[in-house]
Amino acid sequence: MIKLCGIRRGEDVSYVNEFLPDYIGMILAEGFRRTVDIQTARTITRALDSRIKKVGVFVDTPVDRVRQAADILSLDVIQLHGHEDRSYIEKVRSIGIPVWKAVRVKSREDIRSAEVLDCDMLLLDSFVSGKVGGTGTVSDWELIRSTRIDIPFFLAGGISEENLKDALTVSPNIDISGGIETNGVKDREKIRRIMNIYKGAVS
Protein backbone atom coordinates (compact mmCIF):
# COMPACT_ATOMS: atom_id res chain seq x y z
CA MET A 1 0.00 0.00 0.00
CA ILE A 2 1.09 3.56 -0.60
CA LYS A 3 -0.06 6.71 1.17
CA LEU A 4 0.58 10.21 -0.13
CA CYS A 5 0.48 12.58 2.82
CA GLY A 6 0.14 16.32 3.29
CA ILE A 7 -2.71 16.77 0.82
CA ARG A 8 -4.14 20.26 1.26
CA ARG A 9 -5.13 21.81 -2.09
CA GLY A 10 -7.67 21.09 -4.79
CA GLU A 11 -4.76 20.55 -7.20
CA ASP A 12 -3.38 17.87 -4.90
CA VAL A 13 -6.66 15.98 -5.07
CA SER A 14 -6.68 16.18 -8.88
CA TYR A 15 -3.17 14.69 -8.94
CA VAL A 16 -4.00 11.77 -6.66
CA ASN A 17 -7.21 11.07 -8.56
CA GLU A 18 -5.08 10.66 -11.68
CA PHE A 19 -2.58 8.23 -10.16
CA LEU A 20 -4.67 6.49 -7.46
CA PRO A 21 -2.60 5.85 -4.33
CA ASP A 22 -4.28 3.64 -1.73
CA TYR A 23 -4.49 6.45 0.83
CA ILE A 24 -4.10 10.18 1.15
CA GLY A 25 -3.18 11.85 4.42
CA MET A 26 -4.35 15.25 5.61
CA ILE A 27 -2.62 17.03 8.51
CA LEU A 28 -5.54 18.08 10.71
CA ALA A 29 -3.39 19.10 13.68
CA GLU A 30 -2.78 22.83 14.03
CA GLY A 31 0.52 24.60 13.58
CA PHE A 32 2.32 22.52 10.95
CA ARG A 33 3.52 23.53 7.51
CA ARG A 34 1.10 21.16 5.79
CA THR A 35 -1.87 21.72 8.13
CA VAL A 36 -5.27 21.92 6.46
CA ASP A 37 -8.38 23.05 8.33
CA ILE A 38 -11.41 20.78 8.43
CA GLN A 39 -13.61 22.95 6.23
CA THR A 40 -10.97 23.17 3.50
CA ALA A 41 -10.37 19.43 3.80
CA ARG A 42 -14.10 18.81 3.38
CA THR A 43 -14.24 21.04 0.31
CA ILE A 44 -11.30 19.49 -1.52
CA THR A 45 -12.14 15.87 -0.70
CA ARG A 46 -15.62 16.15 -2.21
CA ALA A 47 -13.81 15.59 -5.50
CA LEU A 48 -11.65 12.70 -4.21
CA ASP A 49 -11.94 9.43 -6.11
CA SER A 50 -13.90 7.00 -3.93
CA ARG A 51 -11.21 4.34 -4.40
CA ILE A 52 -8.76 6.42 -2.36
CA LYS A 53 -9.08 6.22 1.42
CA LYS A 54 -8.78 9.30 3.64
CA VAL A 55 -6.42 9.40 6.61
CA GLY A 56 -6.66 12.20 9.16
CA VAL A 57 -3.38 12.94 10.94
CA PHE A 58 -3.61 14.26 14.51
CA VAL A 59 -1.04 15.27 17.12
CA ASP A 60 -2.18 15.07 20.76
CA THR A 61 -5.61 16.35 19.68
CA PRO A 62 -8.59 16.21 22.07
CA VAL A 63 -10.66 13.12 21.31
CA ASP A 64 -13.82 15.16 20.72
CA ARG A 65 -12.08 17.09 17.95
CA VAL A 66 -10.82 13.88 16.39
CA ARG A 67 -14.34 12.48 16.49
CA GLN A 68 -15.75 15.64 14.91
CA ALA A 69 -13.20 15.60 12.10
CA ALA A 70 -13.78 11.89 11.45
CA ASP A 71 -17.49 12.54 11.14
CA ILE A 72 -17.31 15.68 8.98
CA LEU A 73 -14.71 14.22 6.61
CA SER A 74 -15.90 10.59 6.65
CA LEU A 75 -12.36 9.55 7.48
CA ASP A 76 -11.33 5.98 6.80
CA VAL A 77 -8.35 6.01 9.19
CA ILE A 78 -7.15 8.05 12.16
CA GLN A 79 -3.35 8.46 12.35
CA LEU A 80 -1.86 9.61 15.65
CA HIS A 81 1.50 11.35 15.52
CA GLY A 82 2.01 12.67 19.04
CA HIS A 83 2.46 11.22 22.53
CA GLU A 84 -0.88 9.39 22.63
CA ASP A 85 -1.00 6.58 25.21
CA ARG A 86 -3.10 3.43 25.42
CA SER A 87 -5.89 5.13 27.37
CA TYR A 88 -6.22 7.85 24.74
CA ILE A 89 -6.12 5.31 21.93
CA GLU A 90 -8.90 3.28 23.53
CA LYS A 91 -11.10 6.38 23.42
CA VAL A 92 -10.21 7.07 19.81
CA ARG A 93 -10.93 3.45 18.85
CA SER A 94 -14.51 3.98 20.04
CA ILE A 95 -14.98 6.21 16.97
CA GLY A 96 -15.10 2.97 15.05
CA ILE A 97 -12.46 3.30 12.32
CA PRO A 98 -8.88 1.96 12.14
CA VAL A 99 -6.22 3.72 14.21
CA TRP A 100 -2.60 3.99 13.14
CA LYS A 101 0.21 5.15 15.44
CA ALA A 102 3.33 6.91 14.22
CA VAL A 103 6.61 6.06 15.93
CA ARG A 104 9.73 8.20 15.78
CA VAL A 105 12.21 5.35 15.82
CA LYS A 106 15.37 5.71 17.87
CA SER A 107 15.56 2.11 19.12
CA ARG A 108 13.77 -1.22 19.04
CA GLU A 109 12.17 -0.29 22.35
CA ASP A 110 10.28 2.54 20.62
CA ILE A 111 8.72 0.00 18.28
CA ARG A 112 8.02 -2.47 21.08
CA SER A 113 6.28 0.21 23.13
CA ALA A 114 4.03 1.10 20.22
CA GLU A 115 3.14 -2.50 19.41
CA VAL A 116 1.20 -2.85 22.68
CA LEU A 117 -0.96 0.25 22.15
CA ASP A 118 -3.75 -1.68 20.38
CA CYS A 119 -3.43 0.06 17.02
CA ASP A 120 -4.22 -1.44 13.63
CA MET A 121 -0.95 -0.35 12.04
CA LEU A 122 2.23 1.49 12.91
CA LEU A 123 3.93 4.18 10.87
CA LEU A 124 7.67 4.04 11.47
CA ASP A 125 9.19 7.47 10.96
CA SER A 126 12.57 9.08 11.53
CA PHE A 127 13.50 10.60 14.86
CA VAL A 128 14.45 14.27 14.78
CA SER A 129 14.67 16.00 18.14
CA GLY A 130 11.80 18.41 18.72
CA LYS A 131 9.91 17.36 15.57
CA VAL A 132 6.90 15.04 15.32
CA GLY A 133 7.34 14.27 11.63
CA GLY A 134 7.53 15.69 8.15
CA THR A 135 11.25 16.39 8.37
CA GLY A 136 12.36 14.65 5.19
CA THR A 137 14.96 12.72 7.18
CA VAL A 138 15.35 9.04 6.30
CA SER A 139 14.43 6.74 9.17
CA ASP A 140 16.76 4.00 10.46
CA TRP A 141 15.95 1.36 7.87
CA GLU A 142 18.54 -1.13 9.07
CA LEU A 143 17.19 -1.00 12.63
CA ILE A 144 13.64 -1.45 11.35
CA ARG A 145 14.67 -4.24 8.97
CA SER A 146 16.43 -6.15 11.73
CA THR A 147 13.55 -5.87 14.21
CA ARG A 148 10.77 -8.44 14.34
CA ILE A 149 7.60 -6.37 14.11
CA ASP A 150 4.39 -8.25 14.83
CA ILE A 151 1.82 -5.88 13.35
CA PRO A 152 1.70 -4.27 9.88
CA PHE A 153 3.52 -0.99 9.41
CA PHE A 154 4.12 1.83 6.96
CA LEU A 155 7.65 3.05 6.40
CA ALA A 156 7.95 6.85 6.44
CA GLY A 157 10.66 9.46 6.56
CA GLY A 158 12.63 10.88 3.65
CA ILE A 159 11.31 8.53 0.97
CA SER A 160 11.66 9.80 -2.60
CA GLU A 161 11.85 8.44 -6.13
CA GLU A 162 15.61 7.96 -5.63
CA ASN A 163 15.27 5.55 -2.71
CA LEU A 164 11.74 4.14 -3.08
CA LYS A 165 12.87 0.75 -4.40
CA ASP A 166 15.20 0.35 -1.41
CA ALA A 167 12.41 1.44 0.94
CA LEU A 168 10.18 -1.29 -0.44
CA THR A 169 12.71 -3.89 0.70
CA VAL A 170 11.99 -2.73 4.27
CA SER A 171 8.19 -2.60 3.98
CA PRO A 172 5.63 -2.99 1.18
CA ASN A 173 3.70 -0.12 2.80
CA ILE A 174 5.09 3.34 2.05
CA ASP A 175 4.20 6.84 3.27
CA ILE A 176 5.53 9.80 1.26
CA SER A 177 5.03 13.53 1.70
CA GLY A 178 8.06 15.71 1.01
CA GLY A 179 9.26 13.34 -1.71
CA ILE A 180 6.31 14.36 -3.89
CA GLU A 181 6.81 18.10 -3.42
CA THR A 182 8.71 20.89 -5.15
CA ASN A 183 9.16 24.15 -3.23
CA GLY A 184 6.74 22.96 -0.57
CA VAL A 185 3.79 22.02 -2.79
CA LYS A 186 2.71 18.74 -4.34
CA ASP A 187 4.25 18.12 -7.75
CA ARG A 188 2.25 16.14 -10.34
CA GLU A 189 5.33 14.85 -12.14
CA LYS A 190 6.93 13.60 -8.92
CA ILE A 191 3.66 11.87 -7.97
CA ARG A 192 3.53 10.28 -11.44
CA ARG A 193 7.10 9.01 -11.20
CA ILE A 194 6.68 7.77 -7.62
CA MET A 195 3.50 5.90 -8.50
CA ASN A 196 5.09 4.36 -11.59
CA ILE A 197 8.05 3.13 -9.54
CA TYR A 198 5.77 1.81 -6.82
CA LYS A 199 3.39 0.00 -9.18
CA GLY A 200 6.30 -1.46 -11.13
CA ALA A 201 7.88 -2.80 -7.96
CA VAL A 202 4.79 -4.34 -6.41
CA SER A 203 3.07 -5.70 -9.53
Q: What are 34-91's pLDDT values in tens digits?
A: 999 999 999 999 999 999 999 999 999 999 999 999 999 999 999 999 999 999 999 9
Which position has the higher pLDDT, 178 or 128?
Answer: 178
* Predicted local confidence at residue 127, as pLDDT: 60
Segments making up each domain of the chain, as ranges? 2-202
Mean of pLDDT over the chain: 93
Which position has the higher pLDDT, 137 or 72?
Answer: 72
Helix (H) or strand (E) holding 26: strand 23-27
Band of the pLDDT at 136, cuts 50, 70, 90? low
Long-range CB pairs of 28-37 (<8 Å, 24+ gap) are 28/56, 28/57, 28/58, 28/61, 28/69, 29/57, 29/58, 29/59, 29/60, 29/61, 29/81, 29/82, 32/59, 32/134, 33/134, 33/184, 34/5, 34/6, 34/8, 34/134, 34/177, 35/8, 36/7, 36/8
Answer for the pair 191, 16: CB distance below 8 angstroms, yes or no: yes
Architecture of 2-202 per CATH? Alpha-Beta Barrel (3.20)
Q: How many CA atoms lie within 13 A of 129 on its CB side?
A: 0
Which position has the higher pLDDT, 202 or 199?
Answer: 199
